[in-house]
Amino acid sequence: MSLFKRLLKTTKQSASKKKVDHGKYYPEEKLPIDEKFTYNFNKNGGKFLYCENLEELLEVFDNILLENDWYEKEVFCINEQLTSRFDGFNLTFTKKNNATFFLSTCESLVATNGSILLSSNQMKEKKLHELPDNVVIFATTSQLVDTISEGLRIIKNQCKGKIPSNITTIKDFESEKEKDFMSYGSSTKNLYLLLLEDL
């Protein structure tokens, strides 16, 4: 069952059920990883766009370009597969970080805090503040993990000999949000997540 259908099903079920009072020692109900990520990602201010197939993904990407007037603009993208996939949108792909937006894949989607795990595989040796303020991330539902340590374990297993450097997370997507000391040094991004169903 797709992520979108499960989300709709659980919201309908929770609306129809009456709230049951449990004692204070009753274990908390654990949300599935996909629901937890969606909740935390939206709470952080990210724009979550779910796609069931590639046709829908291209349509959603086209809508993002229309909404932001990003046609005929420069796009910072180092992934050759992404440049060929989104080639028909009249964009200029560059490896300069002063582009209009950053188009990339990611290592993992971390459910616990709704963040996106990136490494030098996606952004070379650039720091987050050096990337464009607008970011479009392409990911699949199989990249959902519960914690950052799970994401790091996947990176370690995939890159057996050479672990990528510059591993970081993007988790701050609202510029208006008041900062606390935990978010000091993080740079705010206007982030769109294109999530493709692949399970």
Q: Would you say residue 145 has pLDDT above 80?
A: yes
**What are the tokens at 133?**
């303020």
Q: Would you say residue 71 has pLDDT above 60?
A: yes
pLDDT at 160: 78
Decide if 22 contacts 30 (C-beta within 8 A): no
As a whole number of angstroms, the distance between CA 62 and CA 66 comes to 6
Q: Would you say residue 31 has pLDDT above 70?
A: yes
For residue range 35-58, what is the model confidence (pLDDT) as tens digits? 999 999 999 889 999 999 999 999
Sign of CA dihedral 98, 102, 107, 109: positive
Q: Which CATH architecture has domain 32-173+188-196?
A: 3-Layer(aba) Sandwich (3.40)
pLDDT at 118: 94
* Domain extents in the chain: 32-173+188-196
Decide if 81 contacts 71 (C-beta within 8 A): no
Q: Would you say residue 180 has pLDDT above 60?
A: no
Amino acid at 48: F
pTM to 2 decimal places: 0.80
Please give the average per-residue pLDDT across 80-90, as a whole number. 91
Q: What percent of the chain has pLDDT over 90?
A: 56
